[in-house]
Structure 1
Amino acid sequence: MGVGGENKFRRRSVESGSSTEPTDRPTAIAKDDAFHLLQTSRRRDVVRYMARADGRVELRDLAEQVAAWEEETTVESLSSSDRQRVYISLYQTHLPKLDEHGIVEYDKDRGIVERRRRARQLESYLAVDPVDATPDPWPRRYGVAVLLCVVFTGASIHEFGVGPSTGLALLVLATVGAVAVGHWWSKRDGSETVPSVS
């Protein structure tokens, strides 16, 4: 936490009548506050991004990635108006709100954002685990289901020959396979690394 951030923390603490020293354990976020903070997709995206970030990040990088997620494209393919629209929204509204609730430390003058420990409470609502991100098991489960369908369909054709039900079985097999591939394809983007600010 920078010097400005610490002064801001102390100023807030004095105004609220509490100790001026930060505690080791962050205070719990009320469920209503958590849902209010997570009601907009941009704030949810900020929490997700910061969960993967390594230390402080620049507002510009954060805004670009949030805009890319919104537009379902890459950062490189974004238009300048998309970048600016999200940047202004984060700068004026969303980051000050998250900073006010102790989710991030936002240095507006320098354009730097840093995740605070209290953010973990919101991450639990988003199923974000920054420390131990395990791969999604569903594509593998789909794959096993497709493999079993192939085995049973092959055994059925071998035993009973090709009939009207074989075409239906192959159609179901192709559908499940397409869903498995689509799910895997949509999830593979979630492993990108997040740049940090030194």
Structure 2
Amino acid sequence: MAPTASIDVDLASEQRLSDDKVFHLLQNRRRRAVIRYLRGTDETVSMRDIAEQVAAWEHDTSVAALDSDERQRVYIPLYQNHLPKLDDEGVIEYDQSRGTVKRTPVADQLERYLTLEDDESATAPPSEPAADETADEAVDGGDDWIDAYLGATGVTSGFFLAAVFNVPVVSALPNILLASLMLVTFATVTFAHTVFGATSEIPLPF
């Protein structure tokens, strides 16, 4: 009887991705970069190592020269979206809890569409909508707006506590005015979020 591991490899080799799935998986540059990183290795690798190298390629720099923001902007979309998607299609084995990734033979079907230089134009048809690229941008910019809402919460909490503990000036304000200031604080952040969009990184006063 053949070893179980050999049977698993044979089954993975026989798994075929449809053309639609191949184009969908390769239309996103970060998924292409993951396939490029894993090319030629059958070893289990760290998800963090992949994210750092992909970020370095995107910024045309070295891993050592990356700052924390540049790392996070790649790490989060890979962790939440792209690696699970590649895992679902059997291209990789992704252990999210351990942060490890292992290439499978199914990746061979994707690699043949990539040039040695990973030419961006040789992957997906120009008419294919890059919806995942937009999703990445939303994830990238989302943290800035989370910080903004947390800041607004801090400001309004400060007003409230100052009124409760009778802090001079604030405690002298009419209740209606104090409530209005709190409302305006949140309304300002919400309006800016709506107008500038989730990917905006405009500076806010808190």
Mapped partners of 1:52, 1:67: distance in 2: 20
SS of the counterpart of 2:14?
coil
Residue 61 of structure 1: which of 37, 40, 49 is its match?
49
Deviation for aligned residue 1:22: 3.7
2:69 matches 1:89: no
Mapped partners of 1:71, 1:23: distance in 2: 36
Partner of 2:89: 101
1:183-194 superposed matches below 5 A: none
Partner of 1:132: none
Relative contact order higher in (CA < 8 Å, ≥ 6 apart): 1
2:82 matches 1:75: no
Compared CA separation, residues 23 and 58, structure 1 to 2 (3 A): closer
TM-score computed with the length of structure 2 as normaliser: 0.50
Mapped partners of 1:53, 1:85: distance in 2: 25
Partner of 1:195: none
1:172-191 superposed matches below 5 A: none
Unmatched 5+ residue regions in structure 2? 117-206
Aligned length: 110
Partner of 1:188: none
Residue 36 of structure 1: which of 24, 36, 56 is its match?
24
Compared CA separation, residues 22 and 98, structure 1 to 2 (3 A): same
Deviations 1:117-152 (A, max 9, x none): 000000000135xxxxxxxxxxxxxxxxxxxxxxxx
- Give 1:120's aligned amino acid: D
Deviations 1:58-88 (A, max 9, x none): 0110000000000111101111001011111
Deviations 1:1-26 (A, max 9, x none): xxxxx9xxxxxxxxxxxxxx746133
SS of the counterpart of 1:118?
helix
Percent pairwise identity = 53
SS of the counterpart of 2:39?
helix
Runs of 4+ displaced beyond 6 Å: none
- Give the aligned CA root-mean-square deviation in angstroms: 2.0
TM-score computed with the length of structure 1 as normaliser: 0.52
Compared CA separation, residues 54 and 117, structure 1 to 2 (3 A): closer
Mapped partners of 1:124, 1:66: distance in 2: 20
- Give 1:68's aligned amino acid: A
Mapped partners of 1:116, 1:62: distance in 2: 16
Deviation for aligned residue 1:29: 1.0
Partner of 2:103: 115
